[in-house]
């Protein structure tokens, strides 16, 4: 019988999260599964050393053996887990230990039920569009490649100087302006940096890419929504007064010299999220952002779905 390898990713510097991770490790072990901890997280390994019974990714277990990643933390920890399992087919199940936790599937109070569902393989897998990101130099050579689940942002590196960019869609120039930066976001990331920058909320069922300027000095610099197969390019003009920096999901960065070209497309590899409940995205928006819905009548007999 093949051992079920379940990755456990947690924010190791919060006592409540470590305690919740210990519950998950204990429950998995008791059910005959093998919990695995990230090999680069010495703090979590040390914090759970008394629990025992777990393996270490990269040492005891390889990434292609992982069945599922259980994540305890906020959206940042979930993005980290998605990065860890990027080269595998393992879905990510988020347990919210943060504030908003938009990517999380359940709250901490539901851990015991979640473990029963995981052991029974009683969950669905939802695929979310990701972005492929390439940086080219002035000669057109690719000097950096990465990916993003939420967004790729091109930002000015110097606070006191703005950057000048040319925006290109599908190989055609759209506009040139000075700005603090640009956000290129997926529907998943539309409730993150894109949302804070004034971009539209995009339902996950809509495959699209949002392009949002940051503090642009221009008459036409509105948020755009383009098709999922569109190619979005941001060129940092050589005459710009400062350098830029590329950030992907707030986790991976690369310096952008004047003349750099950032090309963003849909990635051929989506991110897989494990889902326990079929709650509507509308309900998730209302719950996470605490939107006022008092006075709603709706169809007769309609109730708000619970997550």
258 within 8 A of 237, measured Cβ to Cβ: yes
255 close to 245: Cβ distance less than 8 angstroms: yes
Say which of 40, 46, 60, 75 is annotated catalytic. Answer: 75
pLDDT band at 22 (very low <50, low <70, confident <90, very high): very high
Burial 28-55 (b: 16+ CB within 10 A, else e): bbeeebbbbbbbebeebeebbeebeebb
User: Among this protein's residues, is 283 annotated catalytic?
Assistant: no
| pLDDT attached to residue 307 | 45
Structure token pair of residue 167:
């925006």
Two structure tokens written together for 148: 């993003």
> Could you read off the pLDDT of 70-120 as tens digits, one per residue?
999 999 999 999 999 999 999 999 999 877 778 888 888 889 999 999 999
pLDDT in the model for residue 301: 61
Full set of structural domains in the chain with CATH:
5-122 (3.40.50.10330), 131-266 (2.60.200.30)
For residue 304, name the pLDDT band (cuts at 50, 70, 90): low
In angstroms, the CA 248 to CA 242 distance is 20
214: Cβ contacts below 8 Å, ≥ 6 apart: 153, 155, 179, 180, 181, 182, 183, 197
Q: What is the pLDDT of residues 288-302, one digit of tens each?
A: 889 999 999 888 766
**For position 13, what pLDDT does the model report?**
87
Task: Provide DSSP, 4-39.
Answer: -EEEEEE-TT-HHHHHHHHHHHHHHHHTT-EEEE-T
Q: Rounded distance, CA 34 to CA 44, Å?
A: 16
Q: What is the pLDDT of residues 252-274, one digit of tens each?
A: 999 998 899 999 999 999 999 99
């Amino acid at each position: 019988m093949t051992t079920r390898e379940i990755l456990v990713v947690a924010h190791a510097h919060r006592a409540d999260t470590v305690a919740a991770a210990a519950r998950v490790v204990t429950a998995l072990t008791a059910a005959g599964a093998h919990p695995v901890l990230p090999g680069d997280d010495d703090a979590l390994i040390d914090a759970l050393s008394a629990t025992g019974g777990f393996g270490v990714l990269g040492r005891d277990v390889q990434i292609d053996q992982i069945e599922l990643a259980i994540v305890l933390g906020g959206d940042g920890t979930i993005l980290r887990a998605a990065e860890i399992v990027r080269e595998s087919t393992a879905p990510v199940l988020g347990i919210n230990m943060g504030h908003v936790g938009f990517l999380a599937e359940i709250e901490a109070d539901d851990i015991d039920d979640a473990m029963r569902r995981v052991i029974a393989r009683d969950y669905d897998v939802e695929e979310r569009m990701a972005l492929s990101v390439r940086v080219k130099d002035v000669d057109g050579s690719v000097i950096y490649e990465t990916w993003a689940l939420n967004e790729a942002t091109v930002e000015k590196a110097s606070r006191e100087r703005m950057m000048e960019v040319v925006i290109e869609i599908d190989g055609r120039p759209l506009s040139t302006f000075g700005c603090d930066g640009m956000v290129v976001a997926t529907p998943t990331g539309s409730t993150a940096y894109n949302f804070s920058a004034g971009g539209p909320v995009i339902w996950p069922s809509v495959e699209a890419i949002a392009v949002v300027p940051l503090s642009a000095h221009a008459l036409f610099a509105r948020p755009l929504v383009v098709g999922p197969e569109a190619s979005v390019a941001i060129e940092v003009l050589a005459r710009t007064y400062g350098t830029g920096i590329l950030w992907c999901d707030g986790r991976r960065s690369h310096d952008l010299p004047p003349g750099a070209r950032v090309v963003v497309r849909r990635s051929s590899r989506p991110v897989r999220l494990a889902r326990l409940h079929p709650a509507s995205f509308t309900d998730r928006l209302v719950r996470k952002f605490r939107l006022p819905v008092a006075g709603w009548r709706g169809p007769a007999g309609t109730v708000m779905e619970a997550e």
